[in-house]
Structure 1
């Protein structure tokens, strides 16, 4: 069983953006993360810099988060 993972907020991070960027998680994963981090919602929509977010062990975190490649020029 994998251990819980911790993420650290950067400047301007929202919880959903942090989870997507660093863990590859989406909106369906927010309730479990909010439950694992009581009081984090009171921090407001933009997390303070350095806020530690615990991602529960039950979440499947991919080794690398992938996004579709977009090329503006060839």
Structure 2
């Protein structure tokens, strides 16, 4: 279920994603769910509601190795 986050002074999107999802891989999904969010720049203004969508199921995403097996 998607969540909403009310920004605090000094909040940055990558830090919000790290706190909510445990990683910063979902920044692009959050930007897609919040059109116009990028215009605020790296430091978001306080009291801005940010929709945090459910993370995509990473188990279905194939891993592509460019330089052989790891």
Do Structure 1 and Structure 2 share a fold, with TM-score over 0.5?
yes
Residue 26 (1) aligns with residue 23 (2): yes
- Which ranges in structure 2 are unaligned for 5 or more consecutive residues? 57-70
| TM superposition score normalised by structure 1 | 0.66
Give the aligned partner of residue 50 of structure 2.
53
Go from structure 1 to structure 2 and tell me whether the alpha carbon gap of 1:25 and 1:54 turns closer, same or farther (over 3 Å shift): farther
Tell me the TM-score normalized by structure 2.
0.69
Q: How many residues align?
A: 56
For 2:33 and 2:21, the matched residues in 1 are separated by 17
CA RMSD of aligned residues (A): 1.5
1:37 lines up with 2:21 in the alignment: no
Give the corresponding residue for 2:59: none
Choose 1 or 2 for highest CA Rg.
2
